[in-house]
Structure 1
């Protein structure tokens, strides 16, 4: 009798998407590669080019759901596996994780999730011996998994323990748990529109947030949505759209956007009439920013340079935005790899860089000019503590408190000191997919005249 023949990825619908999803999950968990690295740019998975749009969207959902629920999945599989997850075959681990994620949180028939996961391990030399195990465990997951998940749903297992501990210490246990719940939901698509948000919300089957961001649910590729090719809007989380608004009227003013890529805030400033100099140290990221500005029909001056060392030829600026590199823990709901790749030890080095960037910005700011500092981090060392330190050491700076009226009356996102602090659990909605914000911190400072 000839050996069994297993179907190739092109013969089984959905298998190619799952194979690439498994590769990407492996890349995060075993090679410490970010999702951005693996899904975009020069280092992107080579198989992505062969995927149809529908399969590419499926692959992204598989990866995001698996990483978003990684802690719960690990607990679940430890309950269902007598000897734990196999450590000598990464494909067996990723097949189990992806299969269980589909069974418990995605609209995939159980039999399809099991069958395709088994095919994944059968096609891998090291993992093939675990095909029977994967089949048995996932069938058991279909029967018992929901009950096990229900038992632990209040334990915030999907947040890295070091992060949860920090959030409890800084925000309190109740808020930390609310953040953890918010991170478990697939996020919406947020768009900053050039004009007429109500009309764009209607065309895109979404709604307008109090801050004028248009929020909708994505079905397919962003590039095929109405208004994309015409440059009528750009993708930007509602929280990320707030810091640039703190400058008020920038029409005709010279503004430096330090660490500018991918360019959402640059676009806001340019659209508001500012003469924007966009600075970023990455030539690749700057190329993408320039492409975005071309699509949006916005003019800027791009500069590839290390913002901390940059010496502009045109002297000082009326306003400067410092969107500093950070741990990005406020973006975990959109980038679920961040919580598992970042380490607590990184915070100190990033805080040092953030302080240097603010000091550099002060040296480039005209007397009376405005400086807005922001990070997409939930960690106080990268937000509140940076500003308190800078204010203590820079006599020529003063804080200009943010008023709730400047942020659509959302008083809960304004701190007692007058800074912005958004949390993933803010802006709740009856449909969790339409609620929430990225975690952002922003402060507005002015150089004394």
Structure 2
């Protein structure tokens, strides 16, 4: 039998790294290091697709695994998930190749006794034309857990908050492949589009996010960034910067800046931005972004703990706080399997600490913007309400006309939802310190 392809071996390594605690994108980068671009793209589709549809795949596998997927050796289950995704979603892969390569992959992984099991399950899957899933009308939680491929606890939370139809819309939005967006810097949207067109790259404006451009396939991020000064940035993140409404020429502190997209957006209008983050590795990306645009003099990078920021008070502070990231499951599909319900409470405590430290860095009369890419009330509205309830001299001050009114909640806080806007989720609240 032929050896498994390099892409399949790398995909299995990425899933193993994820099980050991690595983030999905880092696991993929490590597993595909040095791989040629076309093979890496195929591997990314296999890995991210398996993350995205893991719940659906496991539901199907449970119909063939005698004692259920939870009883399987972790390496065997990873191989089965990869093989099942190829059978279910990758039409370019012949079924015989998906099966035979999975059998060899499990042997290579050091579990040769499971070769017959893998072969039998995938062969049986291949022969069955369709599979049974829970009915949405009868049991929406089970349907969104299985067909929708989301953890039960999250589905239950979202149904309780928005109702079952909106929860289904959110789950369906999360299961779409993310589109490519950029935020041009130092050039107008019209000029950016002209430069992209000259490079034979098609783009579209985004109605609700005036600073964003959607890059149409087959153009890559690298090609777009070579044609126009910009950062790769989802419209939700660009809206946070627009909502911040930092005055021209202001000195700004970005307290959790990596990888630097929002810091670069702030620097497009502000005077100078000090970008800080606890991770030296991630801060290197901020420096690389600034140097690529030629903004080394506008964006300064500091490795620092946001709970103890080594800065004097400035005009404006952005705290894009660490969070569960439940608004970015389309872009980071591994997140839905990594985040737990307990993480919400532990992150809320960290967010309170960071907010208190950020507030101390704001001059009297200055602005503090708190943002997350979470959809969860405990990380968003409740954190702001708790902050304001415990302090005098601070008020919620939404910027007049900075973003469309339908992107704001009743209190004037920014709320971007994947099921409504079709992009990442984002939350932001703009707070003013009394002069």
Where does 1:140-219 land on structure 2 (aligned, <5 Å)? 140-144=124-128, 146-148=130-132, 155-157=143-145, 158-194=149-185, 195=188, 196=190, 197-199=192-194, 202=197, 203-210=200-207, 211-212=209-210, 213-217=212-216, 219=218
Alignment match, 1:421:
415
Distance 2:156 2:58 in 1: 19
Where does 1:8-27 land on structure 2 (aligned, <5 Å)? 8-9=3-4, 15-27=5-17
| 1:370 aligned residue (346, 367, 372) | 367
1:402 to 1:380, Cα distance in 2 relative to 1, 3 A: farther
Shift of the alpha carbon at 1:152? 7.1
Q: CA RMSD in A?
A: 2.3
Shift of the alpha carbon at 1:274? 2.6
Distance 1:218 1:38 in 2: 25
Alignment match, 1:351:
348
Distance 1:119 1:199 in 2: 50
Mapped contact 1:62–1:101 kept (Cα < 8 A): yes
Where does 1:295-314 land on structure 2 (aligned, <5 Å)? 295-298=292-295, 299-312=298-311
Where does 1:386-397 land on structure 2 (aligned, <5 Å)? 386-397=383-394
Distance 1:144 1:337 in 2: 28
SS of the counterpart of 2:62?
Answer: helix
Deviates more, 1:374-383 or 1:242-251: 242-251
| 2:63 aligned residue (37, 60, 79) | 79
Mapped contact 2:196–2:227 kept (Cα < 8 A): no
Alignment match, 2:105:
120
Distance 1:86 1:422 in 2: 36
Shift of the alpha carbon at 1:296? 1.6
TM-score, normalised to structure 1, is 0.87
- Provide, for residues 233-290 of structure 1, a one-character-per-residue CA deviation record: whole Å limited to 9, x for no partner: 1111110111111232532111001110000000101122431011111111111210
Distance 2:411 2:80 in 1: 47
Shift of the alpha carbon at 1:376? 0.7
Shift of the alpha carbon at 1:149? 5.6
SS of the counterpart of 2:235?
Answer: coil
- Provide, for residues 105-135 of structure 1, a one-character-per-residue CA deviation record: whole Å limited to 9, x for no partner: 2232323322322221232331x22323323
Where does 1:42-441 land on structure 2 (aligned, <5 Å)? 44-45=30-31, 48-85=32-69, 87=71, 89-108=73-92, 109-126=94-111, 128-144=112-128, 146-148=130-132, 155-157=143-145, 158-194=149-185, 195=188, 196=190, 197-199=192-194, 202=197, 203-210=200-207, 211-212=209-210, 213-217=212-216, 219=218, 222-223=221-222, 225-226=223-224, 228-229=225-226, 232-248=229-245, 250-298=247-295, 299-312=298-311, 315-402=312-399, 405-407=401-403, 409=404, 411=406, 413-427=407-421, 436-441=422-427
Mapped contact 1:401–1:419 kept (Cα < 8 A): yes
Mapped contact 1:372–1:442 kept (Cα < 8 A): yes
Mapped contact 1:259–1:324 kept (Cα < 8 A): yes
Shift of the alpha carbon at 1:139? 2.8
Shift of the alpha carbon at 1:86? 7.8
Count of matched residue positions in the alignment of Structure 1 and Structure 2? 417
Distance 2:196 2:384 in 1: 36
Distance 2:204 2:123 in 1: 40
Distance 1:294 1:201 in 2: 21
1:150 to 1:54, Cα distance in 2 relative to 1, 3 A: farther
- Provide, for residues 378-435 of structure 1, a one-character-per-residue CA deviation record: whole Å limited to 9, x for no partner: 11111000011111112111111355x422x361x211111111111122xxxxxxxx
Mapped contact 2:396–2:431 kept (Cα < 8 A): yes
TM-score, normalised to structure 2, is 0.89
Shift of the alpha carbon at 1:141? 2.1
1:86 to 1:57, Cα distance in 2 relative to 1, 3 A: same
Distance 2:22 2:193 in 1: 39
Where does 1:34-49 land on structure 2 (aligned, <5 Å)? 34-40=23-29, 44-45=30-31, 48-49=32-33
- Provide, for residues 34-68 of structure 1, a one-character-per-residue CA deviation record: whole Å limited to 9, x for no partner: 2133134xxx23xx234210111111111111111
Mapped contact 2:251–2:270 kept (Cα < 8 A): no
Deviates more, 1:144-153 or 1:374-383: 144-153
